[in-house]
Structure 1
Amino acid sequence: MKETQTTNNQNKEEYMERIKSLLVSALLAMVSANVSAQADGTFQFIDKDGNTVADGSTCTFNAHYDEDWGMVMAHIDLSTKNTTSEEAFVSAQVVTEKLPNGTFQFCFPNTCPPNVPANYITDTGSMGAGEVKNLLSEWMPDEGKYGTATFTIQLRTMAGNTNTVKAYGPKITVNCVYADPTGIDGVLTDNGDTTINVYDASGKTVMTNRPASALMSLGKGLYICETMKDGKRVAVRKIVK
């Protein structure tokens, strides 16, 4: 009887140990999955002001006429930074989600292919410690054919100067907007009940809540002027000075 009871106790202890082992394994698997889901931080996207663009972000860039190139372009004004204290190798995966017209150029990290495939993986390039490199990428829509092009870009940390992925970095969505500036029109006059907001060609705010006469103070350039009444937009116009 005692031997039977002892055997039962041993079996119960073994069973409990197995349960503990399974629970520990499951916990470790969860931790491992969580860590692997986090983007590798070797490389980061940064904006033109040097701010980090977080993993999962959506960035929007407006198309405008580029006098240097003589065409309408939406520049993706982002860069990649090597956050480490040593040389590291990077490539990017670029997926074209929507391309209504025109062509897309992506010149990071080394070359500019004549045609960017819908699911494009770049070559591998090296970046020095703390180095920042512009993506040198833009959408060139057909002039007068308005719409929005959408891309996803993911940085990949490479195992040396090879095609082997060491870790996956941040992934962002980029919208390039080519808007019809004459889609909503109106007369921009000081009438006491309207104000204007003005943006430059990149979408940066130049002035807000000002009378229309404030347009006289603008320097040379291309602007988008938004007329507001009672907190609502009633007109938009492209202004070239």
Structure 2
Amino acid sequence: MKKIFTLAAVLLMSAAAMAQNAKSMIQFVDAKGNVIADGATFVANNIEADPFDDTKYQIKPEIFVKNVSEKEIPVAVRFDLTNMPNGELVSCFGECRPFTKPGAHESAYRTLNSGQNASLETEWKPDNSDPATWEATFTACLGQEVDGGFITTYKFLEAGPSIKVKFIYDVTGIENVNNNLQVKEVARFNAQGQKITEPCKGINIVKLSNGKTVKQLIK
């Protein structure tokens, strides 16, 4: 009987350790490397010109996911877009995925090395000029590699830190991005890093004249 109780205690302690694992291994950080605490609210109100459509704008939160563990781990981000009023949220974390409907969505998994800091590469693209303020929930998730043969796949293992992202779309701020409308494409590459002369199906990596590099999903 004593052995049974001892085993049960060990299992309970192991389960408790696992429940805290993802939050101790993953952090959200801002562009300066400051930690965005679990449960905190991050304000995203910097309006930029859409580099692929000069008639539209986007808000790109400068948020990064950091692996603070001592090992390589697969990470994805879940997006609760229940309150998204219009437009789409595009995530290029791992691979580019557009989310056009409110609700729960998930990015692709991306393997992060110990200490690696990776941009979410995510932006909200409103589809009209109406002012809007809304909140989304971003949750970093720890994954596990699945033996799928030639293609590496992942499954959800455990939820990590979660933050609120408050999008503020104020059309009066559009005047501040007019200069960005002159940004032009200077080079384009496919997902394998090969230079191409025109858009190709899949993920395209585009270098712009303002020095930025963005990913574009071509269907």
TM-score, reference length from structure 1: 0.56
| 8 A Cα contact 2:43 2:165, kept in partner | yes
Matches within 5 A, 1:27-176: 36=19, 40-66=23-49, 68-69=51-52, 70=54, 71-108=56-93, 110-115=94-99, 118-160=103-145, 162-176=153-167
| 8 A Cα contact 1:63 1:72, kept in partner | no
Q: Which runs of 5+ in 2 are unaligned?
A: 147-152, 181-219
Query: In structure 2, how many angstroms separate the alpha carbons of the residues matched to 1:85 and 1:30?
Result: 21
What letter corresponds to residue 176 of structure 1 in structure 2? F
Question: Does 1:177 find its partner at 2:162?
Answer: no
Q: Which runs of 5+ in 1 are unaligned?
A: 1-20, 183-199, 203-219, 222-241
Q: Secondary structure at the match of 2:138?
A: strand
Q: Secondary structure at the match of 1:163?
A: strand
Query: In structure 1, how many angstroms separate the alpha carbons of the residues matched to 2:95 and 2:24?
Result: 24
| 8 A Cα contact 2:83 2:136, kept in partner | yes
RMSD, aligned α-carbons:
3.4
When residues 89 and 75 of structure 1 are mapped into structure 2, their CA distance, relative to the original with a 3 A threshold, is: same
| 8 A Cα contact 1:101 1:145, kept in partner | no
* Identity %, equivalent residues: 25
Shift in Å, 1:165 = 3.1
TM-score, reference length from structure 2: 0.62
Q: Secondary structure at the match of 1:160?
A: strand
What letter corresponds to residue 160 of structure 2 in structure 1? G
Q: Which has the larger radius of gyration?
A: 1
| 8 A Cα contact 1:74 1:139, kept in partner | yes
Q: Secondary structure at the match of 1:98?
A: coil
Aligned residues: 162
Query: In structure 1, how many angstroms separate the alpha carbons of the residues matched to 2:123 and 2:50?
Result: 15
What letter corresponds to residue 66 of structure 2 in structure 1? K
